[in-house]
Amino acid sequence: MSKKTLCFFNSRGLIAFEKHLNLIRESGIWEPFDDILNDSTLTEKISRTVVDLPNHFSNRLECGKFFSDLFKKFEAELTAAGVDPHVHVGLWSWLSASMGEFLKGAGKEPVIGEAARWTFMPNDFGRYYRHLLAGPYMLFDMHSDQPELVEILLYNDVTKPNTAYVEQIASRPLIVDNPAAMELIHEMYFDYAKKKPRKSSVAKIAEAGDIRRFGVVFNQLALTWDVAGLSVDELRSILPKEFKPLFSQ
């Protein structure tokens, strides 16, 4: 755990953060963000209370839950500061910088990857979930009363988040924000005993019955059916027969 006062980067801080990130990306050498985190002209305080930021999450589910609990605890302070964690870029960049040692990965060379991993892109349906910290939070928050509905999206490592499930499901609001669809996806593709997707449920290219086909087929069905208003049984009944072998009932 590291003790920090919860802050966010202001517009100058965001620029400094991006520059620092690019420096690491280009050099391949890790440099902590301490200088910009400690520069009071680049940050705005949300609360005077010191919070414990973990140095590690065992998986994305734990990460999502941590931030969900944290933001509930500081709800009044966040509101007073005009910070909505669902859309606030400065907050997530500050958190990324604060937890950079963990997010860079355990290997010799830091893994920076695409910008969306470090800079939250809340307005981009195809990228918002790729942020290493905000992604788990957004997905957990969507089903915080039933977190078992997002296990397939959050079972894995925070620093290696991109699975076909995340890409195919999280980018489709009609699926990811649909409890019945998420329940059906877990029935078809998730092994609750092993806490991970069943083997061979993802092919490199879309194959009959796999998650990539599910995304495509679901989009088509949404043109004909009010998919968000259907129960799990009703969804099962409209899926084509290629998916039938995956049903448990």
Partner 1 sequence: MRSVNATFNYTERVRIERDWVEFKAVSDSNGSTVELTRLKIDHLALPSDADIVVEVRTTRRRIRRFDAGTVGSPTFGVPFELNEPTADGVSIDLKVVKPNLAQKGKILAMCKGLRPLFGGHPESLLVIVPKDLGQRLWNLNFDPVSGPELELNSEFENPYMVWNNQLFLALTLPAIVKSIAIWLVENQDVGDDDPIGPVVKEWKLLFSRWGYPVSSQDGEDFDEVQHWADGVAGAFSGKYNYFSSVNSFFAVDGE
Contacting positions for partner 1 (CB under 8 A):
10-12, 14, 44, 79, 81-84, 86-90, 122-125, 128, 138, 142, 173-174, 177-178, 223-230, 234
Residue 105 or 122: the one with the smaller Cβ distance to partner 1 is 122
Residue 102 or 165: the one with the smaller Cβ distance to partner 1 is 165
Is 143:182 a contact under the CB 8 Å cutoff? yes
Comparing CA positions, the residue from 228, 243, 215, 135 lying closest to residue 174 is 228
Residue 9 or 57: the one with the smaller Cβ distance to partner 1 is 9
What does the alpha-carbon distance between residue 85 and residue 122 come to, in Å, rounded to a whole number? 10
What does the alpha-carbon distance between residue 230 and residue 180 come to, in Å, rounded to a whole number? 7
CB of 1 to partner 1, least distance (A): 27
Residue 90 or 110: the one with the smaller Cβ distance to partner 1 is 90
CB of 141 to partner 1, least distance (A): 8
CB of 224 to partner 1, least distance (A): 5
Is 61:151 a contact under the CB 8 Å cutoff? yes
CB of 162 to partner 1, least distance (A): 18
Comparing CA positions, the residue from 163, 106, 86, 175 lying closest to residue 130 is 163
What does the alpha-carbon distance between residue 235 and residue 233 come to, in Å, rounded to a whole number? 5
